[in-house]
């Protein structure tokens, strides 16, 4: 009997999930055993199903993908996570990989790139989609000059939510931390990035393509 690689898909768009479910299940040795539309469901599915690979979009409604990666690996240090996202900016790939993802594939990639990446991650090998690999390599070389590289994955997630207009209370609820911790992190983020105000922080985010 053919042993199948068991996958859980995490994406808040049902139509998108259906599209790559069909793509992946066209392979006889891949099986979709679960789906999730948000981080809470993803954590529940991961705990209940223990998939071989979790295919994850970064843009989730309740918690960012980078924070979710961190939590999944806290739960299981051997979790194999493949990010499948619209974000082509090297910064997002860097943060996802630093958080512990094994693979990063953009949604603008050809279908066969996603399929090949699933096999690579299942084999515990790191993979980056070809459309961003050169940019990511350059970003890593230039890391000392990249201010956002100084941020830890959770700080990056808090910054992303702040830029989305979320309050400290809302961010705290999403990340299961206190509003005071969020406020302290907000201060640390500005300190690390060398900005003195939220206006300067927003300008920097615009310049770096975060918003």
**CA nearest 126: which of 98, 156, 90?**
98
**Cβ pair 20, 37 in contact under 8 A:** no
In this structure, the chain runs to a length of: 211
CATH number, domain at 154? 1.10.10.10
C-alpha 64: how far from chain center: 7
C-alpha 197: how far from chain center: 27
Average pLDDT, the chain: 88
**Span 13-65, pLDDT tens digits:** 999 999 999 999 999 999 999 999 999 999 999 999 999 999 999 988 888 88
**Span 69-88, pLDDT tens digits:** 999 999 999 999 999 999 88
**CA angle at 63 for the pair 59 and 66, rounded to the nearest 5°:** 70
Burial class (CB in 10 A: 0-12, 13-18, 19+), 3: exposed
Same structural domain for residues 99 and 118? yes
Same structural domain for residues 93 and 162? no
CATH number, domain at 61? 3.40.50.2300
**Span 139-152, pLDDT tens digits:** 655 554 566 667 88
Whose structure tokens read 């599915």? 45
C-alpha separations of 108 from 46, 105, 125, 178, 209 in Å: 26, 8, 22, 37, 18
Same structural domain for residues 172 and 127? no
**Cβ pair 105, 77 in contact under 8 A:** no
Q: Give residue 193's domain range.
A: 146-207
Torsion of CA 103, 107, 110, 115, to 10 degrees: 40
C-alpha separations of 170 from 64, 157, 175, 176, 194 in Å: 13, 13, 9, 10, 25
C-alpha 68: how far from chain center: 7
Q: Of 91, 117, 140, which residue constitutes the final position of a domain?
A: 140
**CA nearest 211: which of 136, 161, 145?**
161
Q: Does residue 133 have a pLDDT over 80?
A: no
The total number of structural domains that make up the chain: 2
**Span 166-210, pLDDT tens digits:** 899 998 888 888 999 999 999 898 888 888 888 888 888 787 767
Same structural domain for residues 190 and 91? no
């Amino acid at each position: 009997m053919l042993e199948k690689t068991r996958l859980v898909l995490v994406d808040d768009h049902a139509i998108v999930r259906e599209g790559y479910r069909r793509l992946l299940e066209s392979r006889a040795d891949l099986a979709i055993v679960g789906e999730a539309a948000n981080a809470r469901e993803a954590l529940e599915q991961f705990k209940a199903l223990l998939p071989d690979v979790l295919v994850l979009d970064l843009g989730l409604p309740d918690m960012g993908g980078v924070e979710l990666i961190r939590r999944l690996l806290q739960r299981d240090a051997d979790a194999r996570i493949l990010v499948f996202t619209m974000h082509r900016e090297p910064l997002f790939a860097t943060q996802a990989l630093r958080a512990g993802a094994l693979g990063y594939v953009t949604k603008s990639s050809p279908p066969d790139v996603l399929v090949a990446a699933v096999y690579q991650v299942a084999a515990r090998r790191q993979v980056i989609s070809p459309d961003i690999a050169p940019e990511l390599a350059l970003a890593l070389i230039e890391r000392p000059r990249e201010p956002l590289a100084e941020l830890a994955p959770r700080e990056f997630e808090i910054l992303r939510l702040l830029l989305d207009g979320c309050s400290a209370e809302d961010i705290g609820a999403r990340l299961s931390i206190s509003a005071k911790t969020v406020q302290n992190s907000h201060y640390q983020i500005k300190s690390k990035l060398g900005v003195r105000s939220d206006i300067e922080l927003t300008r920097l985010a615009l310049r770096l393509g975060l918003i």
